Structure 1
Amino acid sequence: MVKTTQKLNNTNVKEFLDKYDTFLFDCDGVIWSGSNAIPQVPETINWLKNTLNKQCLFLTNNATKSRDSYLKKFSDIGILISKDEFFSSSYLAGVYLKNVLQLPSDKKVFVIGMEGIKEELNGLNIDNYSLEDYHPVDEDDLSKLGPNLDVGALVIGMDRGINYAKYAHGYQLLTQKPLVHFIACNDDPTDTVNGKFFPGTGSIISPLINSTKRVPTVVGKPNISALESINALYQLDLCRTCMTDTDIQFGLSGNLGTLLVFSGLTNEEQFSSQSDIIPEYVAESVAQLYNLN
């Protein structure tokens, strides 16, 4: 174990809690695993918010669902939060298009992804479309997927219905002149579902990167633009903000406090063998914050 990392215990947990006013939590592997809450985490989050008056914000690179869908998931496991306390990479993609790129209102967005992206773009009044029901069978069908000068951006996220038509149209858009913006919700190479690994958004993006030689702007963590979007709304004191995750690169990139938990992708054995990962603190799960008091 890296010497500069402290393992949370009953002698240092109070010092840890006193250091921070705001806690940023990843969701997958931290708050829940699949559809199930990680044991005692809901009670711990509610205790942090209601008893210790800590500000708790949540973010996920998962762009398959809208924030409304996630709010229901939080409610179902016993955590009540507002939409403004939750940041998905699909929402961050819309914020980036609207507030950073200031995409003209007459420009459309082509979406390679699932309903979460489209719902968030609709909520921000960004015109968008996808090719869910188009399945070309020959060269004549493919020729209909040419460039479209009405399109100003391509946003890509996890797409479990990915097909050649989407790649073909995406290629045409990304190589047309003037170039459209290329935005990725995240570039995670793998995804986990109920403890099993599957190809992630980064794997879905690869064919477009390889064919167009273009690299997308990534708006999800660990990209620092995600923290900038959150900070624009909450004006966080970054010195008193802690990122809790199963991969704390985002916290390190943003110069935040960091708590690595072993309830998700990284277990203690893996952590001990990776000298480049140096969080301030580690714990078995978020529940230890409550249980050690």
Structure 2
Amino acid sequence: MSTTFTIDTSASRATPTPAPMKRLTVPGIRARKAQGFTAEPIVMLTAYTARMAQLLDPHCDVLLVGDSLGQVIYGLPSTVPVSLDMICAHGAAVVRGSYHSVVIVDMPFGSYEVSPAQAFESAARILKETGAAGVKLEGGEAMAETVAFLSARGIPVCGHVGLTPQAVNALGGYGARGRSEAEAAKILRDAKAVADAGAFAIVVEGVLEEIADTITAAVPCPTIGIGASARCDGQVLVTEDLLGMFERVPRFVKRYEAVGEIISGAAARYASEVRDRSFPTDEQVYRPKK
């Protein structure tokens, strides 16, 4: 079990009871793709808390502590303001709450772009403070040297090409990428460069389906699609999106539940019972023992 400290399971709501299973590994995820084919697609979801990690862990191969926590948890307008302090705190929580999945942590904007040495310092801090198995960083050809630098020094790297949210200001928005021949060719070059540099997997986000298919066939490591193609070697979504926690549903998301409505309904019933004094009842109060 990878943990940064032990939780008292007798007193804590978060009770990560050890499960009789061995945690998956980065080499195991990489090996899913053999001779250009992945027989068992890789299941990846985002997680930012220990409790969510507990619920998702039995069903996933990879848990991603995404910088999407900036929007999902902190209500920020984009992923750009996310800090190393924020990502490390949530990464440690997810590692503590999981026993099966490989945990990967996003490197925040500004923590790796200056140089490979800066990236190593940031990635080393993430792995030390969280206990995670690897990091994810955005960028293609421009980041290939950094991916190689980290990989050569024992830090597993998951790449990320196509729509890269940290570059939203340069891209001009969150629209699908690769609509022009030049942009499609660049995305393919980016993916090949990151794969050649040693990435164990690559997230392919927000690109035309045929581009995702071409990349998946062209690189030896697994591709993880999000708004890409069902023929990628795996898929990832922001968990809160598939749970229906937000009103907006991106095109590439399938809502599997309407948890937001359930929470709102429960809060409304609670508020009503508090106001009419029907809660708490005898079952929820303490009285002297007879």
Fold in common (TM above 0.5): no
TM-score tier after normalising by the smaller chain length: 0.3 to 0.5
TM-score scaled by length of structure 1: 0.36
Q: Which has the higher contact order (CA 8 A, sep 6+)?
A: 1
More strand by share: 1
